[in-house]
Structure 1
Amino acid sequence: MRLPAPRGPVTALIFEHLTRRPHAFDPSSVCSGEPAVEDEDLQLALFVCYELHYRGFDGVDDDWEWNPSLLEARQVLERRFEDGLAEAVPRPVLTPSVPMRRVLAELVAAAGEDPSLAAFLERKADLGQFREFVVHRSIYHLKEADPHTWAIPRLHGGAKAALVEIQADEYGGGRLERMHSELFRATMRKLDLDDSYGAYLGRIPAITLAVGNVMSLFGLHRRRRGALLGHLAAFEMTSSLPNLRYGHGLRRLGGDATACRFYDEHVRADAVHEQVAAHDMCGGFAAAHPDLAGDVLYGAACALALDRLFTGHVLDRWTRGATSLRGADLAVGSR
């Protein structure tokens, strides 16, 4: 993956440093005044900083990953992101006497999905809109499960075993052709999209980057491990029905079994995962760490709130006849 074009003074500054050999610089210069969740400059800068912990970028020295100046700059950006999340996502009230599984279920039920992006894709979306949706999701699905895997070495006991059970399915039980990221690549190829990692980073808007960045924020900080588990639980508990609708929508538009397999797999797998995630993983973690139970709920609330903002962004653009991505509409044959 190559560094995308900057979107403001923060990304311009950071990208200019990253194209040189690792060195010290003044991290206090990375500041911006836009609302954090919607700030194109901040969200892209954070994504690039986080991506150094995943697969990195062509032309960027791997030693930047742990460069002290860059880590300080990232911390400045993270604080703005965390403040923005605190403003956008009310912290759920924890009731210790109520089982974690039930509290999570009530949180998910209260969030709902109104309006429903999944219902729109099932019944109304044209092929161009479905392809746009897939491009949005590619920023996460091409590395599916990786951000949540950061929690494995930070857990013990039943919660750890439950997370490993979920992640093993995400990684196809060790079989390449069954890895969820590989299934998604097949969907992209069937839709005549470029399935190379990060190919559409320059087209992805701030809200979609924020959806992915919050996973890395929680995953890369041990103090946020409870929030990471809650995020994963909300992810799994809101997956089966939408993926069923995505599959129906893609078949309506001519998608074959290979194109739809990614969505079909999530209908089956996530129906099981949601039980494991809510009861065994989050319930077990909260029982072992009651002081972090509130963080579990907050992580779930962040996942639900950002997805709602993402849905609003996409449907608003489509309702106005515009693309939900940055730049022009996707061309057929984007590979």
Structure 2
Amino acid sequence: MTASSIISDTTSEVFRVPVLPRARGPLSKAVIDLLRSDPESSTEAPGLGTHVIDADPYGEDLQLALYLCYEMHYVGFADVDVAWEWNPALLSLRAALESRFRHALHRDVPASDENVDDVMDDLCIEDIDGDGASYHLRDNGTWDQYRQMFALRSLYHLKEADPHAWAIPRLRGHAKAAYVAVEFDEYGSGRGKAVHQELFADLLRASDLSADYLGYLDTVPGVALTPVNLMSLFGLHRRYRGAAVGHLAATEITSPPGSQRLLAGLERLDAPEACRHFYREHVEADAVHEQILRTDVVGDLVRSDPSAEADVVFGIRAFLFVEDALGAHMMDAWERGESAFPGI
């Protein structure tokens, strides 16, 4: 593909840089207050000792605070000075939040000496009639429930592939080349309108939802922030390069069957074509990505660095842990006859 063909396929939508959301507790308030101050005069993080120690590691206050810190490495905020990205005070505060989150993950997703091939094989085994959110949406889900799920997922899908891209410089040789091939597809193979982030924005507009980047950050429940923070944690730390690879592998292996179920439900509801197209694309593309990741990325990485295998398995297990929590949140709400995202 030539450079001219890439440039010519552009999107016409105006991109709106988000603004800071409201605080949800002392940790997110501390981050927001810091980001609203002058980065040139702020070199020390505020003392939050007991607040961090006592915080729910998966709660909305800590997860929002961490999400705001990580966001400075992505798009950032219109009302925040870009100099905050590498400010020592913010990085110090982020490290304290990450420590609480990391320790909880390692407690709840214990280390394992499982063979990574066996773990990936297990991911491929799914019941035809399961009881998770995608099964419910396929068989009995309402359009309102789909819209709630879309809004919950927007915090990731509007930056889809970006957190995983941090792992690229940490890989070498064939594993790197194959990993980049998967990411290239996620970014539309050079076509702006086919970038998966843009396809999800089209889905949101077709569903009468906000397609603004971080458009629901101010109201999204904390359980929807955790999966994105997990990806950022793995991607931004070289020590977690194996976990980042494992996370992407788990994402791509579980995506085709899950997307197929969501597509079937959308077809049952005669949903807008933009919604069906997003999941149809993931059924087709991710089935190919699964094989590339299993053989060419995970396989090559573990062969060249056997010590990475445990980290890859941890990345897979951590992915399942946080995704199960989000799925349980949706199902619990729907079984009570309530919205999984109040206001949607």
Residue 318 (structure 1) aligned with residue 339 (structure 2): no
What letter corresponds to residue 24 of structure 1 in structure 2?
Answer: T
Distance in 1, Cα, partners of 2:126 & 2:287 = 19
The CA deviation at 1:329 is 2.4
Aligned equivalent of 2:27: 10
Q: In the alignment, residue 74 of structure 1 is paired with which amino acid?
A: R
Give 2:57's aligned amino acid: A
CA RMSD of aligned residues (A): 1.8
Q: Find the counterpart in structure 2 of residue 271 from structure 1.
A: 287
- Structure 2 distance, partners of 1:184, 1:217, is 23
| Residue 152 of structure 2 corresponds to residue 133 of structure 1 | no
Cα offsets for 1:64-91 (capped at 9, x unmatched): 0000011011000001001111122132
Cα distance in 2 for residues equivalent to 1:107 and 1:271: 13
Equivalent pair of 1:101/1:279 in contact (CA under 8 Å): no
AA of the residue aligned to 2:63: Q
Contact 2:137/2:265, CA 8 A, preserved across alignment: yes
Q: Choose from 220, 235, 239 the match for 1:219.
A: 235
Deviation at 1:27, TM superposition (A): 4.2
Contact 1:108 1:304 in 2 (8 A): no
Amino acid at match of 1:60: V
> Any unmatched runs of 5+ in structure 1?
331-335
Corresponding position of 1:25: 44
The aligned residue for residue 89 of structure 1 is 109
Q: Which among 54, 57, 63 is matched to residue 36 of structure 1?
A: 57
Partner Cα distance (1:113, 1:220) in 2: 37
Identity value in percent: 42
What is the distance in 1 between the residues matched to 2:123 and 2:205? 36
Question: 179, 204, 219: which is aligned to 2:220?
Answer: 204
Offset of residue 159 of structure 1: 0.7
Distance in 1, matches of 2:147 and 2:273, equals 17
Residues of 2 paired with 1:92 and 1:273: CA distance? 25
User: What is the number of residues matched between the two proteins?
Assistant: 323
- Aligned counterpart, 1:57: 77
User: Residue 333 of structure 1 corresponds to which residue in structure 2?
Assistant: none
Give the match's secondary structure for 1:239.
helix
Cα distance 1:247–1:239, how it changes in 2: closer, same or farther (>3 A)? same
Offset of residue 106 of structure 1: 2.6
TM-score computed with the length of structure 2 as normaliser:
0.90
Question: Are 1:187 and 2:203 counterparts?
Answer: yes
Q: Which amino acid aligns with 1:5?
A: R
Query: Residues 27 and 291 of structure 1: is their aligned pair in 2 closer, same or farther, counting only changes over 3 Å?
Result: farther
1:71-150 matches, within 5 Å, as 71-95=91-115, 100-106=116-122, 109=125, 115-150=131-166
What does the per-residue CA deviation read over 1:167-205, in whole Å, with 9 as the maximum and x for residues that have no partner?
A: 010001010111111111111111011101010012211
The change in CA–CA distance for 1:245 and 1:142 in structure 2 (over 3 A counts) is same
